[in-house]
């Protein structure tokens, strides 16, 4: 960057930061997130160091200093370990409280312990609880959500005897030796009790910096964030390494407690549904609330995060939440939201749990992390369907713990909506594993040298004709925009050349993928090399590969060539649904392929036993017949007819049969059991003991159906860790949610 451009950039950054500082501190009307502001601040700080000749005492960087740098044994938990459902806005918070009120009204608590009245003059619900003649206002205990690892701690007679990770909620890993190295974790309590406590193990930002500096000197990779470092530390086989990392913890829950003082009676057991009050006693005092429980934990000798608040309305909760969106970065530990719990243990016990989460609590997450960067170029990727996707090439920037240099722009309509130009300073966001996306453009930082982007009129890969076509909305952001503007469709550009290298390569990658032929060792880079060398050009060519075809390729030794050929040979037997999915027919995904296989008897009396049967049967089925199968729509039907009507596709199938590809009995057409017959399942989240694909196969083998979306017709939602919107939809519709343990029990019964 020449000095004139640098000076202009520095001056514009100063103006923009001062404007946002005034809006935030004076007008109390922030326009961008704190994280986006900090990103601009860091850029200015870097540029002022790079160009000291443009120093100014009036620069925002002179007001404050720079921001601080930010194989085990399996063990079964005594009680199921829950995780809270997530909300992201005040509207979500209001909806959650309304749901709580409906559940309370629906729940019948004996002895008149619950009373809900309505103020007829104000129309505002007054919520109170009556317990043994004492009246308690309905309250919420709000605690900070520490970004660490959940730990379950066991004490016997007041002595720490073991600790484990959460795992899948039922089974975790024994990490006792590493937990013992945490200085803030008491090895002996102030009271002789048998108990299970729950807390969060975390690493300080200061400690992360020290560890990364040491790893840098040793030539080791840096930890991206404190959570990753904590996870890596707690799972060290050598506890001396964990001890050197100086882990810390906060304890926030008593999962189970027994006291020999009253006959070893179990006084609280949150992990099970019980008919009692869910209260427990200490020193002749009844512990009735979450706040009292936290105080008891402190009395026992645990380190409890002091930043919790008792709130008597969701307005107070929102104020607490907003205060921590600005204070969270000043703590020496990472915070990713607040946890809201009904303070009354009577209500907690009465409302109980869903298949995954407590009904009486929720996690209010902070906004997705946002930073600013510059769009250095906009490129175009071509997918297996021929769709052209514009991608922003960014000045590399760290967001949500990882360095990002690209972000999707979805399509031309999204570029026009955002008015993104090459050279623009943009705000990007990334939450979890979601692909980074451009949120908005900071237009005040434009210099006039920015360039508008135009979608190409010819394919950037093959030079073929490109056509704009209406298409279903794919991205969540596009869906939200469409909903707000009452649009139901967006448009994408497609390469019309079916022989385009990018299209063919994408199709081959899809074909050999895990849900298709699952050819181990035949990845994207190898496919690209084989295509570039002219060794393969279509599906059938893969099954004719010989060791001699592969050995001449660079870095392809004889042994690796033999392994790949052996892997291809093993893949030649495939079920019909996986075969149909592998073909990559447009609008025919995994579930449609399963529907086709399961309903073949409605379409033909013939059995599909080889590829010749596929050719003979599928070539004769009309679009109207396909649509006669429940769940197969117009687009899928038309695509099936079009694909099987093309001569070149039929020739491919014939060649594949010649090379030994065989259709084996489908798990749907030939059921081995009927324990789940007629039941429809939806899967969400990450399963611990088996993959979601394996779970789908189990369901189908027992006569069940798998759907990709939740509706009133759904019988069960199988939820794993990090379950998303499908779980929330199930709870709203009253669909039963089950975990892995209950699912496996259904298969055994």
Catalytic residue numbers, as ranges = 145
* Assigned token pair, 412: 């031309």
Crossing angle of helices 501-512 and 524-532, rounded to 10°: 130
* Assigned token pair, 207: 């400690």
Helix (H) or strand (E) holding 586, with range, is none
The helices-and-strands tally (H runs, E runs) of the chain is: 27, 32
Among 499, 508, 478, residue whose Cα is nearest residue 490:
478
Taking CA atoms, 109 is separated from 70, 276, 342, 405, 559, in Å, by 48, 10, 16, 56, 70
DSSP string, 360-423: TEEEEEPPPEEEEEEEEEEEEEE-TT-EEEEEEEEEEEEETTEEEEEEE--SHHHHHHHT-EET
Torsions phi, psi of 349, nearest 5? -70, -40
Taking CA atoms, 130 is separated from 111, 139, 284, 346, in Å, by 9, 13, 21, 10
Q: From CA 353, how far away is CA 360, in angstroms rounded?
A: 8
Q: Residue 712: how many CB atoms within 10 A of its CB?
A: 7
Q: From CA 440, how far away is CA 339, in angstroms rounded?
A: 30
Is 348:423 a contact under the CB 8 Å cutoff? no
Count Cβ atoms within 10 A of the Cβ of residue 237 and give its class: 0-12 exposed, 13-18 middle, 19 or more buried. exposed
Is 669:576 a contact under the CB 8 Å cutoff? yes
Compute, in degrees rounded to 10, the torsion defined by CA atoms 354, 356, 361, 363.
-150
């Amino acid at each position: 960057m020449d000095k004139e451009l640098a000076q202009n950039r520095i001056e514009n950054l100063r103006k923009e930061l001062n404007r946002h500082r005034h809006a935030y501190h004076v007008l109390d009307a922030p326009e961008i997130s704190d994280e986006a502001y900090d990103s601009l601040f860091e850029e200015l700080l870097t540029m002022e160091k790079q160009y000291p000749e443009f120093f100014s005492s009036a620069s925002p960087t002179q007001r404050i200093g720079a921001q601080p740098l930010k194989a085990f044994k399996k063990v079964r938990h005594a009680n199921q370990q829950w995780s809270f459902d997530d909300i992201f806005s005040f509207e979500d918070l209001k909806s959650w409280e309304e749901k709580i009120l409906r559940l309370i009204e629906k729940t019948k608590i004996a002895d008149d312990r619950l009373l809900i009245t309505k103020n007829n003059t104000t129309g505002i619900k007054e919520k109170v609880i009556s317990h043994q003649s004492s009246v308690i206002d309905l309250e919420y205990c709000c605690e900070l959500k520490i970004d660490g690892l959940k730990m379950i701690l066991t004490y016997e007679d007041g002595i720490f005897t073991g600790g484990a990770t959460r795992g899948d909620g039922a089974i975790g890993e024994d990490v006792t030796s590493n937990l013992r190295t945490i200085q803030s974790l008491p090895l002996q309590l102030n009271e002789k009790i048998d108990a299970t406590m729950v807390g969060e193990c975390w690493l300080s930002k200061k400690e992360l910096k020290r560890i990364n500096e040491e790893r840098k000197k040793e030539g080791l990779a840096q930890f991206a964030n404190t959570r990753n470092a904590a996870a890596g530390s707690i799972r060290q086989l050598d506890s001396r390494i964990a001890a050197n990392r100086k882990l810390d913890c906060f304890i926030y829950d008593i999962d189970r407690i027994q006291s020999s003082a009253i006959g070893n009676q179990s006084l609280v057991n949150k992990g099970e549904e019980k008919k009692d009050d869910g209260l427990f006693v200490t020193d002749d005092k009844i512990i009735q609330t979450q706040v009292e429980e936290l105080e008891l934990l402190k009395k026992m000798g645990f380190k409890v995060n002091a930043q919790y608040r008792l709130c008597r309305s969701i307005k107070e909760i929102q104020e607490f939440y907003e205060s921590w969106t600005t204070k969270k970065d000043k703590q020496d530990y990472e915070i990713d939201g607040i946890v809201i719990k009904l303070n009354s243990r009577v209500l907690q016990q009465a409302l109980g749990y869903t298949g995954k989460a407590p009904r009486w609590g929720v996690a209010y997450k902070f906004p997705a992390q946002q930073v600013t960067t510059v769009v250095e170029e906009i490129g175009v990727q071509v997918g297996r369907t021929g769709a052209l996707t514009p991608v922003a090439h960014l000045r590399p920037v760290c967001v949500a713990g990882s360095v990002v240099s690209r972000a999707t722009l979805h399509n031309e309509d999204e570029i026009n909506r955002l008015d993104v130009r090459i050279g623009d300073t943009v705000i990007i966001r990334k939450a979890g594993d979601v692909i980074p996306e451009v949120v908005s453009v900071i237009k005040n930082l434009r210099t006039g040298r920015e360039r508008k982007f135009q979608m190409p009129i010819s394919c950037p890969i093959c030079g073929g004709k490109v056509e704009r076509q209406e298409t279903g909305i794919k991205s969540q952001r596009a869906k939200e925009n469409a909903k707000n503007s009452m649009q139901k469709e967006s448009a994408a550009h497609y390469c019309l050349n079916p022989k385009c290298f990018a299209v063919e390569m994408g199709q081959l990658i899809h074909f050999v993928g895990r849900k298709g032929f699952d050819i181990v060792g035949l990845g994207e880079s190898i496919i690209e090399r084989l295509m570039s060398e002219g060794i393969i050009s279509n599906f059938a060519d893969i099954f004719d590969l010989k060791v001699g075809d592969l050995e001449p390729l660079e870095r392809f030794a004889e042994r690796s060539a033999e392994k790949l050929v052996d892997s291809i040979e093993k893949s030649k037997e495939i079920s019909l649904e996986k075969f149909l999915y592998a073909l990559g027919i447009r609008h025919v995904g995994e579930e449609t392929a399963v529907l086709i296989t399961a309903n073949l008897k409605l379409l033909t009396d013939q059995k599909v036993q080889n590829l010749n049967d596929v050719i003979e049967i599928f070539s004769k089925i009309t679009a109207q017949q396909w649509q006669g199968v429940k769940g197969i729509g117009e687009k899928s039907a038309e695509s099936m007819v079009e694909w099987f009507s093309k001569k070149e596709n039929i020739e491919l199938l014939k060649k594949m049969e010649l090379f030994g590809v065989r259709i084996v009995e489908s798990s749907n057409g030939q059921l081995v059991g009927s324990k789940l017959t007629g039941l429809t399942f939806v899967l969400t989240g990450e399963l611990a003991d088996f993959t979601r694909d394996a779970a789908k196969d189990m369901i189908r083998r027992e006569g069940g159906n798998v759907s990709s979306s939740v509706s009133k017709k759904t019988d069960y939602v199988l939820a794993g860790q990090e379950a998303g919107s499908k779980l929330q939809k199930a709870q709203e519709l009253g669909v039963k949610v089950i975990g892995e343990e209950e699912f496996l029990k259904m298969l055994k019964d």
